[in-house]
Structure 1
Amino acid sequence: MKLTDWEKREDALYLETESGIAKLTPVSNRIIRVVFTQDREFSSKESLVVLPQAEESVRWEVREDTERLVLRTPVLQIEIRKETCAITYLDGNGRLLTKEPERGGKTHVPIEVEKTVYDGNVTIKTGQGADGVRARVEGSRKTVDRRAYHTKLEFEWQQDEALYGLGSHEEGVMNLRGSHQYLYQQNMKAVVPMIVSTRGYAVLWDSCSCMIFRDDMHGSYLWTDADDEMDFYFIYGPEFDELVGGYRKLTGAAPMLPKWAFGYAQSKERYKSQEELLDILREYRERKLPLDLLILDWQSWPGDWWGQKSLDPERFPDPAGMMRSIHEEGARLMVSIWPIMNNNGPNQQEMRNRGFLLGNQANYDPFQPEARRLYWDQANDGLFKYGIDAWWCDCTEPFEADWKGAVKPEPEQRLSINVNEFKSYLDPEFINAYSLLHSRGIYEGQRETGDEKRVVNLTRSAYAGQQRYGAITWSGDTAASWTTLRNQIPAGLHFCATGVPYWTMDIGAFFVGRKPEMWFWNGDYDRGCEDDGYRELYVRWFQLGAFLPMFRSHGTDTPREVWRFGEPGTVFYDTLAKFLRLRYRLMPYIYSLAGSVTHEHYTMLRMLAFDFREDIRAHDIGDQFMFGPAFMVNPVTEPMYDGSRSRKPEGVSRTRQVYLPAGTDWYDFWTGKRLEGGQEIEAEAPLEIIPLFVRAGSIVPMGPVVQNTDELGSQPYEIRIYPGRDGSFGLYEDEGDNYNYEKGDYAWIQMEWLDKERTFRIGRRNGAFPGLVRERRMNLILVGTESAQGNGEAETNVFDCTVTYSGEAVVISFDSGGATL
């Protein structure tokens, strides 16, 4: 692909080659868009992923020598080899970031794109499995619609770099180097086509087709199945937070979720009636166990009208009264809704009559704006108008075709089966985008209805840009085993590294027992919560869940309420209650992280490379992560008490190995012991605790134990300060729900610790909103200051003082005698 001509225009660098045209557009100093096509003009299709970009003043220039063109911004250099158009990416100092092979690395293979024709010969077969209703067309035929391309973009990655991203996947791989991944939507795949490198860059593909990522014996590249042109964005950081900021600049910011969304969510498959829901809520309140959200899973609709967006009047006779009772108890309700409809319910008939169903006459078509609007109108009329608070958009990869049989198909079989099923109903160029458009319809519909409630949409599928629609993605219908628990951690870390901030999972896994005739129903615990082995696994899963963006228990086979695992005084019950209450104590910290997600493009669930990118030892660690700037969470992913089917593990230590990243000291959260970074330790890990370490310099605001997030109000906060280096933290507050924050109704309080001076400063409150707490008592705790090495004991001296903060700056000095205001 030899360069034949080039031109620098106001908007981009345009290239003519022997085999097509290309353009490189500086979107910002740190973001370059690259488009290449073998056609004679660029596509005019509107992107589903990338939003229209506001004009930004970018300083860039192009220089030419005998072998190359160099596009330069203040922080990036893009070198284009004239002979092959191979691109090399360097930072502003000339440090190599990554490059394409010298031969070129950009491939287009022409293909014929087919569409499905539905005529009088087709039949529709509908059936229900463990994953819900599916409708499939048989007897259809294909016809050629247009020409497009398979595209392939190759890289020569550097030996010392680690790669992350691509979304949430089930295999448990941490560093993607030396691996491959198929990028299509299915139950336990949530795709985001972006890779992130420890060398300080990311690549986002603007493609919605099936893709394949490889870094193996077949090469190092990303391949797309059906695109008009190759279109991707190179983003430079170098820090991961800057890469996420670049992604969200392109695809949209994440709106604030309501405060209650960060409380505890209780769910199972399934609560069957209004009475059962209210009984569960009353039990939580009587036991003084915090809870903010109840979730109503599938089949709450009338009779056999699958997917009807209204409640069965026999089981839910008074939706408005039910919602009043739930709200009076300080809780909310999320209801499962589906994009697939069956049995000629009123919703399905209305969709069919208006031509808004896909070829199987069951799934609605979110690619049509009017279909999205009708879907919302149905949800509003049947559910939202009664006071329901949130949506569980289940089955948003709606053409799953391989969840059947006793043997799990091979990965390549699954790719073929599922992608071909998607292509029966959707254009191959857009098969990954169903969930994105579905989420858009829910978000825009609710926003148009009113701004009193923030949109919350728990969805099983995802795509780039979905964060702008108030979506939370969970990892799908997993099976209960220690391997699954271990693999969940990299799944969430990869997902959030792509820039989509809200991820969760089914605490305890969806399938707990085993049904040999169904390959996916393969949990290790047929006795469910009566099995001590499952109780141990569930407690460890619950401990992990307490440090995720959404804290949610869900699954089938066995109930999930806290008291199902024992009664007060038993280790299982007491440990679950302990971590449930800790989650609520951390709510001021967690909600402030949420404020940073929206206002500063922050990420709260962070692989270690976010904060320790230069520490090579941290690159491959898939079972430790940062929860915000302070906490390093180290889940226990091996049995210590009871194995599967209650087989006692032998010779197992009740500790786990933890790597303390270099460049900082760390504090054991439970003991206050201070340890030096850059070492591996054996951390105590009895069932009652998860190894939890706090980075030196951290400031952690905590609240009291409350029963729901509404109770926080003006209650006192505890501010924990972990000395050892300077630190800061922004405490965020707003009304907790509604969208007034978009109008500026929110406040920040900046807190700073100056380690050398041993001085803590609470800055002047910046901002205001209706209901702002004007005065709050804050108990300041300076955690133990003596150092400990390895397993040595540490002094855990604690100095504390109490101040009443009323919005003006306060400075507190700590010395050996205590604290001085």
Structure 2
Amino acid sequence: MRKLYFTVTAASFFLLPLLSFSQNIPYQKTDNGIIIQPESNSASIGKQIKIEVISDRIIHAIISPTSNFSLEPSLMVIPVKSKPTYSVTEETNYVQLKTQSLIVEVNKHSGQIKYQDLSGKSILEEKNQGLRSFNAVSNDGEASYQIVQTFNSPKEEALYGLGQHQDDMMNYKGKQVLLLQNNTDVAIPFLLSNKNYGILWDNYSITKVGDIRDYQPLSSLKLFSKDGDQGWLTASYSDKKTGQEFIKRAESDIDYSFLSDMKKFPDGFKLDKELVKWEGRIASGYAGIHHFQVKYAGYIKIWINGELLVDKWRQAWNPGSAVVETEMLKDKKYDFKIEWLPDGGESYLALKCLTPIAEAEQNQYAFSSEAGDEINYYFVSGANADEVISGYRTLTGKAVLLPKWAMGFWQSRERYKTQEDLLGVVKAFRDRKIPLDNIVLDWQYWKPDSWGTHEFDKSRFPDAEAMIKTLHDHYKVRLMISVWPKFYSGNSNYDLMNKNGFLYKRNIIEGRKDWLGFQSTFYDAFNPEARTLFWSLMNKSLYKKGIDAWWMDATEPDIHSNLPIYERKQIMSPTYLGSASKYFNAFPLQNSKGVYEGQRKENPNDRVFILTRSAYGGLQRYAAATWSGDIASRWEDMKSQISAGINFSLSGLPYWTMDIGGFSVERRYEKPNQTDLAEWRELNTRWYQFGAFVPLFRSHGQFPFREIYNIAPADHPAYKSMLFYNKLRYRLMPYIYALAGNSYQKDYTLMRGLMMDFGNDLNVKNIGDQYMFGPSLLINPVYKYGATNRKVYLPEGKGWYDLYAGNFVKGGQTITAKAPYNRMPIFVKAGAIIPYGPEIQYTTEKPADPITLYVYAGNNGEFSLYEDEVLNYNYEKGAFSTINFSYNEASKSLKIANRIGEFKGMMKNRTFNILLITPKKAKPLDFNQQPDKTIRYTGKEVIIKF
């Protein structure tokens, strides 16, 4: 472990000694802001407050409980080169700092910080009383503080972002979000408000956001048994086949959260053979909304007062989570029942609760972190959500552009076991004319005892280099491969890492074995030398063979699954930088950093592409996308991916994806009867429709196999629908790649919560099952079995068009949209201009020419077509072009502007086939219909009159 301290004054990221203050001067100016000592001089609110001006719209606040600012270089935030102008004035009660866009006031007595616009209107205020706290702690002998910062939050405010979570929640106001890296949960400490500001919390420890009270055991409520006795519920354990009850006992708490909790079950209890019920009544000493947090594996149902609130399933080895709420009256008894059917020899169940928020604390939210030297956050403001996210990327880095082929379809499976399997799947795609760009090779391509060697098992992959060459040259397909930060003890790579002191050793010392029965551990990604060695091992054994992209799995890090959190921290201690408590959440950022920087150094030309199961603030600068982990193949899990993906995108990272169809499968689908087979096909069809309209389009999962021809035969509606949406995705490639280009050039967000584009429409605030894909397409996934329609809210504005038929519908209303088996409702915003390319089998098969341009009248609109060299980094040097299209409703004209920029291989001349759709003249989505206009474009401005 190494810890650095610096003593350079007036620098943002170094230890800064306490400045000398006279009694008459409440603040000192620095090179980029001010330092204030609150008059109360209380360690509970901070002895010093530093305000730094990063830009006109970005303010850095650091509050120290000691006489020093002890800031090491941030892992998330990069140096920002700017010298914004600002002024400082002193008033009776506060010091005011003013930029060209913001006013920041710091109360001289209490240390409260307020952020206002130039008119003095409040944007955000720290809470005045109890605004923050510091509690001294020791983590692995390292002095630290548990820290809390509280902000006021008006009733109408909505809160988003904070990574990716599986609780099917969109607006986090009044709820708790736990920032804790875990399989299916991604912690990103960036909060976005519908008041057009964001908070980047520069801390790496486990953090609670929002309602930061601890969830309480079920026994915090009044419990009554099935027979009416107070103090417990009646728990009964029965044989799941015969129903014979063999144990009945009183239980007050249900907490079987981790491996170490398995001993709490009754003696002789067998998780794979029995059914458990808890029955009785519950009551609360409070009135209002109660939240129940459920951790579950197997089948779980929970009823309160006869209402089924939870009906879920999750595979045994990776428990899921859910938060449900119900309103309760004070002291009223409610019938309560749980049925739990464990699903395997390792299952988990826990139920905890939060009573209603006290009235005095309802209009606030807080950040509470386990470890930190001080409170350290960035306030980011903007005119809209895009500007706020742009501010986040100013702080944490540009979203580097992925290669164009990453926007195409990826096929994956757990797992392709042989070279023959993998090549056979690719051949089947090409033979069936199913578009494909990327095949993914999941884990265990190595010998069974050789995890971490990065070497192919030659008995199953006899010539990996020839396989890759065939993929590239014959099939025009890229190969992504799974690489874990994991090493089995005893192999040469383990020994090399161990010799250099780069491994977490406790998992080895304690003799834990993984699912395959071998001892293993992870490397310390916080150590720069370890990262360099890790990449060099990948480079030698994989990259030099021609591998195109990296699947960085288990990067939470999941060194050993289902351990209590304190044990997870123990087995990744010590890190190179300090205690695991302090740096717990930042592992995926550092892991991707090493791979990205290593590959760019090895090959500065070809774009890096990383897929990682976890993420942290700043990951977008390392060419990394994130997927939502090992989710279940259930309808409710599909639904929860919608809000999970939207909130991930609102956290500032543009590239997100998921396992289309879900990863883990109920046994009923493995050898299905006709009823279950029908549901399986419909589930995959609906999920595929949704998956075609997220930033990255990717199918993956356990058996049954996920190739569309393995899901259904070619004459089945499921197959036809999945093929339709695959081809539509490729037709939309000019649109999608332009969005990706803008994610770098303009800090754009592809998958857009409705509040981004319709923030003035209060009806969209809580909508988590609809979103915009780019500026034009309103996506409305269907997530109920057997549904043939769904409710769709069309935001206020100039109106909407049905994508398929072209019919016009007014905005500002909820409609019942048709959703036949083969189609997902999609609506196009009036004023949209959407470019479609020719039908292709892979992204670079042919140039995007001709382009069919659909123009939707009823409002002014514009779109910018971005193009570049698709594989290299020349776009960073200005090698790209844009063609701007703008439609004017008053003149009924479309302007195609002069092309701006150029790049090697750019098409100088091209054809645009233009179709105009109006409220009175619908046109279907049909690429064979006669265009209204055909334009031969040479790069010079053209104006088309309709």
- Between the aligned partners of 1:356 and 1:609, the Cα distance in structure 2 is 45
303-312 vs 209-218, which moves further? 209-218
| Aligned: 1:153 with 2:149 | yes
CA 1:153 to 1:684, structure 2 compared with 1: closer, same or farther past 3 Å?
same
- Between the aligned partners of 2:688 and 2:32, the Cα distance in structure 1 is 51
- Give the 4+ runs in structure 1 shifted more than 4 A: 414-426, 523-526
Q: Does the CA contact (< 8 Å) of 1:734 and 1:745 recur in 2?
A: yes
- Between the aligned partners of 1:813 and 1:310, the Cα distance in structure 2 is 62
Report the alpha carbon displacement of residue 213 of structure 1 after superposing the two structures with TM: 1.0
Report the alpha carbon displacement of residue 50 of structure 1 after superposing the two structures with TM: 0.3
Aligned to 1:241: 386
- Between the aligned partners of 2:604 and 2:406, the Cα distance in structure 1 is 16
Aligned to 1:649: none
Q: Does the CA contact (< 8 Å) of 2:160 and 2:170 recur in 1?
A: yes
Deviations 1:312-355 (A, max 9, x none): 22222222211111012111000000101114222212211222
- Between the aligned partners of 2:570 and 2:930, the Cα distance in structure 1 is 62
Q: Does the CA contact (< 8 Å) of 1:703 and 1:712 recur in 2?
A: no
The amino acid across from 1:687 in the alignment is Y
SS in 1 for 2:680: helix
Aligned to 1:691: 825
- Between the aligned partners of 1:801 and 1:674, the Cα distance in structure 2 is 21
Deviations 1:628-684 (A, max 9, x none): 0000100011111xxxxxxxxxxxx62100000112311110111111110110000
- Between the aligned partners of 1:422 and 1:388, the Cα distance in structure 2 is 29
Report the alpha carbon displacement of residue 272 of structure 1 after superposing the two structures with TM: 1.0
Aligned to 1:359: 505
Alignment of 1:173-212 (within 5 A): 173-212=169-208
- Between the aligned partners of 2:448 and 2:104, the Cα distance in structure 1 is 61
Aligned to 2:309: none
- Between the aligned partners of 1:252 and 1:424, the Cα distance in structure 2 is 28
Aligned to 1:810: 942
SS in 2 for 1:664: coil
| Aligned: 1:59 with 2:55 | no
Report the alpha carbon displacement of residue 744 of structure 1 after superposing the two structures with TM: 1.6
Q: Does the CA contact (< 8 Å) of 2:531 and 2:594 recur in 1?
A: yes
- Between the aligned partners of 1:542 and 1:110, the Cα distance in structure 2 is 50
Alignment of 1:214-229 (within 5 A): 214-215=210-211, 217=357, 219=361, 220-229=365-374
Aligned to 2:414: 269
Query: Which of these residues, 462, 469, 476, is aligned with residue 330 of structure 1?
Result: 476
Aligned to 2:932: 800
TM-score, length basis structure 2: 0.77
- Between the aligned partners of 2:690 and 2:848, the Cα distance in structure 1 is 29
341-350 vs 462-471, which moves further? 341-350
| Aligned: 1:96 with 2:122 | yes
| Aligned: 1:779 with 2:806 | no
Report the alpha carbon displacement of residue 3 of structure 1 after superposing the two structures with TM: 12
525-534 vs 702-711, which moves further? 525-534
Report the alpha carbon displacement of residue 174 of structure 1 after superposing the two structures with TM: 0.6
- Between the aligned partners of 1:512 and 1:493, the Cα distance in structure 2 is 24
- Between the aligned partners of 1:165 and 1:50, the Cα distance in structure 2 is 18
- Between the aligned partners of 2:861 and 2:681, the Cα distance in structure 1 is 39
The amino acid across from 2:867 in the alignment is E
Q: Does the CA contact (< 8 Å) of 2:573 and 2:580 recur in 1?
A: yes
Aligned to 2:869: 735
- Between the aligned partners of 2:706 and 2:698, the Cα distance in structure 1 is 10
- Between the aligned partners of 2:408 and 2:849, the Cα distance in structure 1 is 17
Q: Does the CA contact (< 8 Å) of 2:758 and 2:795 recur in 1?
A: yes
Query: Which of these residues, 393, 405, 418, is aligned with residue 552 of structure 2?
Result: 393
Deviations 1:767-790 (A, max 9, x none): 1111111222111111133289xx
The percentage of counterpart residues that share the same residue type is: 40
Aligned to 1:106: 132
Aligned to 1:724: 858
| Aligned: 1:481 with 2:634 | yes
- Between the aligned partners of 1:724 and 1:528, the Cα distance in structure 2 is 50
| Aligned: 1:583 with 2:583 | no
Q: Does the CA contact (< 8 Å) of 1:182 and 1:415 recur in 2?
A: no
- Between the aligned partners of 2:25 and 2:581, the Cα distance in structure 1 is 33
Query: Which of these residues, 489, 492, 501, is aligned with residue 645 of structure 2?
Result: 492
Deviations 1:539-594 (A, max 9, x none): 11111110011100001121000101222221011001000000000000000000
| Aligned: 1:5 with 2:26 | yes
- Between the aligned partners of 1:607 and 1:93, the Cα distance in structure 2 is 29
- Between the aligned partners of 1:3 and 1:310, the Cα distance in structure 2 is 69
SS in 1 for 2:486: coil
Aligned to 2:257: none
664-673 vs 211-220, which moves further? 211-220
The amino acid across from 1:258 in the alignment is P
Largest Rg, 1 or 2? 2
| Aligned: 1:747 with 2:881 | yes
- Between the aligned partners of 2:911 and 2:412, the Cα distance in structure 1 is 35
CA 1:172 to 1:4, structure 2 compared with 1: closer, same or farther past 3 Å?
farther
CA 1:174 to 1:575, structure 2 compared with 1: closer, same or farther past 3 Å?
same
420-429 vs 6-15, which moves further? 420-429
SS in 1 for 2:821: coil
Aligned to 2:36: 15
Report the alpha carbon displacement of residue 420 of structure 1 after superposing the two structures with TM: 5.5
Q: Does the CA contact (< 8 Å) of 1:660 and 1:677 recur in 2?
A: yes
Q: Does the CA contact (< 8 Å) of 1:513 and 1:528 recur in 2?
A: no
SS in 2 for 1:709: coil
Runs (5+) with no aligned partner, structure 1: 115-143, 405-413, 515-522, 641-652, 789-796, 815-821
Q: Does the CA contact (< 8 Å) of 1:85 and 1:104 recur in 2?
A: no
- Between the aligned partners of 1:420 and 1:162, the Cα distance in structure 2 is 36
SS in 2 for 1:444: helix
| Aligned: 1:639 with 2:666 | no
The amino acid across from 1:261 in the alignment is A
Aligned to 2:684: 538
Q: Does the CA contact (< 8 Å) of 1:760 and 1:812 recur in 2?
A: yes
Deviations 1:352-392 (A, max 9, x none): 12221122452111111111111111111111111110000
The amino acid across from 2:719 in the alignment is Y
- Between the aligned partners of 1:443 and 1:309, the Cα distance in structure 2 is 18
Report the alpha carbon displacement of residue 283 of structure 1 after superposing the two structures with TM: 0.5
Query: Which of these residues, 342, 357, 370, is aligned with residue 529 of structure 2?
Result: 370
Deviations 1:145-180 (A, max 9, x none): x31111101011011110001100111111001210
| Aligned: 1:32 with 2:191 | no
Aligned to 2:809: 675
Aligned to 1:78: 104
Report the alpha carbon displacement of residue 452 of structure 1 after superposing the two structures with TM: 3.2
Report the alpha carbon displacement of residue 11 of structure 1 after superposing the two structures with TM: 1.4
Query: Which of these residues, 611, 617, 624, is aligned with residue 464 of structure 1?
Result: 617
73-82 vs 503-512, which moves further? 73-82
| Aligned: 1:168 with 2:188 | no
Report the alpha carbon displacement of residue 98 of structure 1 after superposing the two structures with TM: 2.2
Deviations 1:737-790 (A, max 9, x none): 0112122211111111111111111111111111111222111111133289xx
Query: Which of these residues, 389, 400, 411, is aligned with residue 255 of structure 1?
Result: 400
CA 1:285 to 1:24, structure 2 compared with 1: closer, same or farther past 3 Å?
same
TM-score, length basis structure 1: 0.88
SS in 2 for 1:715: coil
Aligned to 1:616: 762
- Between the aligned partners of 2:609 and 2:931, the Cα distance in structure 1 is 41
The amino acid across from 1:67 in the alignment is N
SS in 2 for 1:32: strand
The amino acid across from 1:697 in the alignment is G
Report the alpha carbon displacement of residue 104 of structure 1 after superposing the two structures with TM: 4.9
SS in 2 for 1:155: strand
Q: Does the CA contact (< 8 Å) of 2:734 and 2:848 recur in 1?
A: no
Q: Does the CA contact (< 8 Å) of 1:88 and 1:100 recur in 2?
A: yes
Runs (5+) with no aligned partner, structure 2: 1-22, 212-355, 509-520, 923-928
The amino acid across from 1:187 in the alignment is N
Report the alpha carbon displacement of residue 415 of structure 1 after superposing the two structures with TM: 5.1
